[in-house]
Amino acid sequence: MDVVMHGPDPPALADAETSDPDAGTHRWVVRDWSRIAATKLRSEPFKVGGFSWQILLFPRGNNSEFVSVYLDAADSATLPHGWSQHAAFTLSIEAEPRRGESASATAARGVVKDTQHTFGANETDWGFTQFVPLSDLDDPDRGLLRSDDSVVIVASVRARRDPNDWNYDSRAETGHVGLKNQGATCYMNSLLQTLFHVPYFRKAVYHMPTTESDEASASIPLALQALFHKLQVAPGAASTKDLTRSFGWDAYDSFMQHDVQELNRVLCEKLEEKMKGTSVEGTIAKLFEGHTVNYINCVDVEYKSERKEAYLDLQLDVKGCKDVYASFDKYVEVEKMDGDNKYRAEGHGLQDAEKGVLFTAFPPVLQLQLKRFEYDFNRDAMVKINDRYEFPEELDLDAGDGKYLTPDADRSVRNKYLLHSVLVHSGGVNGGHYYAFIRPSLRGDGWFKFDDERVTKERAERAMDDNFGEDAELSGKPRVPKFANAYMLVYVRESDMAQIVCDANEDDIAEHVLARLRKEKEEKERRKKEKAEAPFIVPTRLATAETMKAQIGSEIFFDLCEHESLPTRRVRKETSFLEWKKSVAEETGVPPNRQRFWNFVKRQNATCRPGAPIDPEDEMSMTMSALRDKFNPPPSKYVDPGDPRDLRLFLEVVSEEEAANAPPANAADAEFPDLSGAAPRVPAHHELLFFKFYDPTTEAFEFLGHLLCRKDSSVRLEEARIRALCGARLARDAPFDVFEEIKFEPSLMVEKADWDVRFDHDRMSLGSGDILCVQPRVVSEEGVVGTVGGSLSENAPGPRFPEVDQFFAHVRDAQRVSFREASSPRDEKFNLDLSKSMSYDEVCLSLASALGVKDPTTLRLTQHNTYTNAPKTPVAFRGVDALVDMLPPRSANKTPSSGGFENALSARAKHDILYYEVLDMPLPQLERLKSLRVHFHAKDTRRLDVVNVRVPKESRVADAMAELRRVLGEKVSTTRALRFMETYQSKIFKVFAPDDTIDNINDAYWVLRAEEVPEDEAPFGDSETVRSASDADDVARRDSDATETGDVLIHVYHFYRDGDDKADDAAQHTKSQHVHLFGDPFFMRVARDETLGSVKARARLKLGVAEKEFAKWRWAFHSLGKTSDALADSECVAALFAARKDAYGAYESYLGAEHEDPSPRKTAAAKRGTNAGGFDQRAVKIYG
């Protein structure tokens, strides 16, 4: 045999004239087709996109009756490890041109198919197993096999290397994979990639103990182990859904972007907590924790104050600093404390001193948070700093003879660091996108960009220089805005590299975790395989009497079966129905001649019943694909390659007697004389009816079976056979009733059958697939017979639902509700099976019974918000008619149909959520009251108690104060009036007057605070004393006296400044340095000529602070958004407030006490206390 493989004319692509090197066409002439004996052939190689390709041909089919044609990567065995190439291509067989025929007519006789694929070591070829039927190839009318016994096959290929291509393979191109973005989780993806590529951290995560019973969606360690393993070995991007679920997050959290620095803090703290008591306890501290010393050294006396602190990350200034070294210089900058700002040293009085911070130890992995966001007082808003800020590839923190270290620091440790990763924020203060550049090897130019799902190899310039920020203005040219810049840097100490960059592989993972992951992988591959095979498969679901018996009464009640729970048999399209019957015989033991199949038909009333038997002739002649097209035709001529239509069949097992007595083939069967493999036809004038049984006494419900009945029969004529189906369920000669189950959507329809009416009469009109429900007739002791829609006498004992239509109504209305305490909305307490039609009172009675609450009116229900997965709106007392009105709208919609084949409501009712509170008074009484959560503070400003004050909604503040006194009892003085105010974020915003109404006071946003008014502040008023006209003159006179003396009532707040309580230059203090308030604000009366020294002395006594500690405090004046330098003790305080405006917010005037926050946190992001990115002001929380 001579097979000649010709190149194209012009020649093969290696020599082709083409302007696009990534696209080309190869024409292959296969000669002497009829003499080919080889199983498969390959064309000569041709190049497109730098890759060698060839056409792979199976001339007699690849295990099919079709010519099979593929595109193959030539010489794939010699390509480097991890190679990958994506290509979109067309394969065609050209028809032989005919004289006088147009080119378009010739092309129409040809065969053309196109697809695309990413070729790799695991899949070196891709194409069409069923390219063209062999019979079509031999058809002279088609002209595919030419007159010279040749076939012309053409491959047109376009190769792609663009990483933005949707089919880009990150693993093949880079050896790494990305993380899927759930909506706004790019910030989390960047951080997780950075942590994953610290192998020591990854190894520690692998060694966190988990158990086989753990669920990844509820266990942070297991979810993180699974995620890291997928990042290590999975072929494609990994999902973070299990991890975020283990955090306790919902969809709302996934679509809310947070600050990556804050997430880093919260995640590390949570992991540190989870690692306690395990073999990896202390890993977080060992990797990331460093130590500083905050010091104050007196210049002229031997006195030194030191405070040691630990940190997990460092927050470095960007504004005014050209690079990381400049930021460290600023961090350890010494502040002079002299002049009016002298330091009060214990035992030495006021002294000149130097204040600053130095490092005692740097961590092996150094995390630097760059202050790209800061507060602009002029704008009263957060702004992003896009200034140029350089960071080196190698960072030497021993530079300057160790100027960043304390004298007693361990100098044997070489603090030279290599840049490991750069987290980038692209965007502005109100939103943006995060991605990361990571160098896993820490050496050379091995940088990779991790941008959600996509990973690309990058040059060092892209990772570093491009993320320094905006260049300064040069030669008069304006700077070009640049919104993508480094936000977080991670360095690894060079001396710790061997330990940090360790081996972390599957040997470190528990076997049960690996087994779980292998199972997930197998399931994923199975789904992938099924998707690839979908165009060649007919999904077939088979229902039998046994499956109906198993489902009805336990899983479902309406209709005959829940198709979605039946196993799907994946049958190839070309499989004949006879072959299918043989496989069913092997599975069920029912011989083919006793198998009669009925197709499930969707009816107009939304039910789905076996209504059309498959004719024996169709059984003998049709393929599974043809049968599907007959019974479930496509909605249009175009059929999706992944055709979702399935074939749903019911197997009726024909009796041996009927099969043996089947009539011989008639004249109409001449074309199929041998029907021995087929079941007998359904006898003329017969219908297949299905029967269920309901026992009113036990409320048992089950499937009985089916009967082939004559159309002119009736219940009375079929009584004997019906009793035989019921068996022992129905006592001998016991009366019974029969009901027809007609439909369940959109309303239930069940009708009682007349025993003597023929099945084909208009009053019944029964047909194949109809369902009859049999039940014993219920008769009371008085002889009253149960009737449709009725019930027995209330005094007569009997079943709850004496007739099946009542039982159906009960089942259809069933609703399982998950109840949770409103105070613990994520913790499921218990479930109750209720009815959607239950009234508000009935729901509360059921809940009260479950909780053991005597008075159901003390229960308050709250609806569930399906978007935030949290409590929504409290339900007013009897504010809804029924349970269904308390549930999300979807619960009111019963079982939507999917292609019309979904089944009815099952016994496993959908779960819905309601929250509850047990009140200390009936809800109707509470709804007439206004409830205020009040924080009561002592005279030293400390909070003593938090109480709920309830007064009628029309009350005034004075009434609320009277109720507060009653609730607090002896905790409050009877001789001092009360002051009631709104506070927020450690600031005072409003003091209420006694006559103010309470209806508009909001304790959900503001912190409501009450305190006793000190005697010296009484002239400035209170929130309790409602003065009558008779004493108005006395009050006015007393207030006038206070005003005339020049005394003022001022606000005093606690604060600290950015930079770990250390000062910058004076200009920065007064203009832009951000201060952070904390603690409880308070009032002080200040005399007209009183100095700060006097005010401080009274403040110390008021607050009860030890003299030694109080001496460290500094005092400043804040006004119009600016904070002064430290005030001298000789400063007249009242004079500072002389021109003040009664304004709040950034322009409020107050006296500030600057000192350390007594509740310090470990990370820079936490100390900052704000969401720097400004994206979502809701704090990041991990609940798991």
Structure tokens at 382: 């957060």
Task: Residue 828: name the closest of 817, 839, 844, 842 by CA.
Answer: 817
Alpha helices by DSSP H, 707-829:
719-726, 804-812
Q: CA angle 303-309-314, nearest 5°?
A: 125
Q: Nearest 5°: phi and psi at 1175?
A: -80, -60
Q: Are 224 and 509 in contact (CB under 8 A)?
A: no
Cα(580)–Cα(594) distance, rounded to whole angstroms? 14
Alpha helices by DSSP H, 217-365:
220-233, 241-246, 251-254, 260-275, 283-288, 324-331
Tell me how crowded residue 247 is: count the other CB atoms within 10 A of its CB. 24
Task: Residue 1082: name the closest of 1159, 1014, 1144 by CA.
Answer: 1014
Structure tokens at 544: 């039998």
Residue in 176, 186, 229, 1051 annotated catalytic: 186
Residue in 86, 229, 425, 433 annotated catalytic: 433
Q: Are 1083 and 1017 in contact (CB under 8 A)?
A: yes
Tell me how crowded residue 232 is: count the other CB atoms within 10 A of its CB. 17
Sheet-wide strand order for 859-865:
828-835, 814-821, 911-918, 859-865, 870-874
Structure tokens at 667: 């004249």
User: Helix, strand or coil for residue 125?
Assistant: strand
Structure tokens at 687: 């219908």
Q: 50 vs 18, 158, 458, CA distance in Å?
A: 13, 11, 21
Q: Which helix (H) or strand (E) holds 759?
A: none
Q: CA angle 714-715-720, nearest 5°?
A: 115
Q: Say whether 433 is catalytic.
A: yes
C-alpha dihedral over 736, 739, 741, 745, to 10 degrees?
A: -120
Beta bridge partners of 687: 709
Q: Nearest 5°: phi and psi at 1122?
A: -125, 145
Q: Say whether 1054 is catalytic.
A: no
Cα(775)–Cα(1128) distance, rounded to whole angstroms? 96
Say which residues have a Cβ less than 8 Å from residue 81's Cβ, sequence separation at least 6. 121
Q: Are 1084 and 1049 in contact (CB under 8 A)?
A: yes
Q: CA angle 711-757-787, nearest 5°?
A: 130
What are the b/e assignments for 605-621, b being 16+ CB within 10 Å?
ebbbbbbebbebbbbbe
Say which residues have a Cβ less than 8 Å from residue 241's Cβ, sequence separation at least 6. 182, 217
Q: 225 vs 189, 191, 209, 239, 494, CA distance in Å?
A: 15, 15, 10, 13, 27
Which residues are catalytic, by number?
A: 186, 433
